[in-house]
Amino acid sequence: MFAFGQSGFRQMFRISTRLLFFIILVCLFPIGYGFIIPHYGSFTLWMLFAVVFFFFTFVNVIYQKKFSLDKTDKIVLALLFLSPIVENYLSRDVKAAFIEMLPLFLVFFLPYYFSKYFIKTGKDLDKVFLGLTLVAILSSLTAIGEYVAQRSFYADFIPSLVMDPNDVYNNSSMVYYRAGSIRVAGSFSQPIFLGEFLLLVALFNVLLLDNDFYRFKGRLFAYFQVSLALIGSLLSQSRTAIIAFIFCVICYYMVSRKRMKYLLGGLFLVLATYIMSVTYFGDISNTIVTFSLGEEAKLGTLNYRTVIIGRVVSDFLNNINYSGELSSHFRDLIYSNKVDLINGFANKAILDGVLTAIIYLFLWLVIFTRNVRRVKRNSFNRIFFFIFSYLFIIDNVTLITYQCEVIFYILVGLQFNRFVENQGYLVAENSYRSEVSELMLQTGQRGLL
């Protein structure tokens, strides 16, 4: 809790604190929640949170002439805004361009910008990951509750905030089933996105635990989140996220200096949690396997994904899309034939245009190139390498979208944060502990006086 007074208010309004609350609120409220503004349209709660926490500070940064962009910032801006600019330039519709670009600026760019330039201490980083861990725990508990109740938690959650009652997908009120078993989604619109997020945070905590970041209470908190995430991912039946998580954990321990016992201990925790989950929540694993191998799995197998990606690439090469505006050909391909865009790069190419897809690929190239060069500098750079490896796998088999896309841009900002990159999270935290010790010493001296 924050103390009252000037220092308390300064602490409350630190960028790291705002990022903490922004992450929690975005992950708790579906994207379909918000307001309808006359002459504009849908203004989501996510946009409102970004305005409250970041927008006015961003304006102040520009007013004080402290705003600047480096190469990475320009890549992110081009990735976000190139498609709506080109598309609406061709149609000469300035209002449509503004309406399309505003949520991208508020929800994606501002969190990226502030995580990159305003996270400057170990305590700041601690708050960001605290926000991720807290909301991951709440999302896991929501998922368990949905499975027990056999209905969506958000079906009746604050109906006055629902912009379109018929949009059950974005309102997260849809109930998903696979082979007769319910798949929970929480506030993430689709079960697979929930599983992606839970195991992303779990992977962070596993790697931070391995590097002895947490003190005793923090370790218990992290173990609790990881255990709940394993249960929640199982209930969401997110096969890609589960496989990517296990793969990254195994690879991390294989290349780290730790002994094999840590790897075996981690795998034991994963297997034990999944076994307990199956025992208490039904034979979900059998449902996943049956769906993956059975006839009704044609919409979920790896072969299905390979065929669809091949078809998208083939059709795209014959009908190259530069602007991101869907032609009648692609509308027929996607909607009439019910083709899923189950690859991040294919999704960018079809919906946003080939130029945006190239920029997106270039961003990934910059991320991994920069990370590989600095992976030996400190533990945190190594952790980030495996975090982005997990996200890369996810984006190539499914999609990074909705809440996961917001978190992606925040992590990109942290990846290119000079403080994080040069000193590392663990070094920063040690520095923070020294600051606390010094502050306690000064406080004690005042007491003696």
What digits encode the pLDDT tens for the residues 98-156? Answer: 888 999 999 999 999 999 999 988 888 888 999 999 999 999 999 999 999 988 989 87
d(CA 401, CA 418): 26
H or E element at residue 352: none
Q: Are 152 and 172 in contact (CB under 8 A)?
A: yes
Maximum Cα interatomic distance, the chain, rounded to a whole number of Å: 81
Smallest CA-to-CA distance from 29 within 170, 174, 199, 175 is with 170
What does DSSP say about strands 41-44 and 34-37: parallel, antiparallel, or unpaired? antiparallel
In this structure, the number of other CB atoms found within 10 A of the CB of residue 314 comes to 10
**Alpha-carbon radius of gyration of the chain:** 22
Residue 82 has, within 13 A of its CA and on its CB side, a CA count of 21
Provide the CB-side half-sphere exposure for 7 (13 A, CA).
Answer: 2
What pLDDT score was predicted for residue 25? 97
* pLDDT at residue 85 in the model: 83
Give domain limits for the chain: 17-448
Model pLDDT, residue 37: 92
**Residues in the chain with pLDDT < 50?**
1-12, 277-297, 425-449
Residue 274: exposed, middle, or buried by beta-carbon count in 10 A (0-12, 13-18, 19+)?
A: middle
Distance CA 426, CA 429 (A): 5
CA torsion 183-185-191-194 (nearest 10°) is -130
Look at residue 182 in the predicted model and tell me its pLDDT: 87
- Tens of pLDDT, residue by residue over 365-406, are 999 988 887 776 677 888 899 999 999 999 988 889 899 999
* Interatomic CA distance for residues 188 and 172, integer angstroms: 7
Backbone φ and ψ for 398, nearest 5 degrees, come out as -130, -120
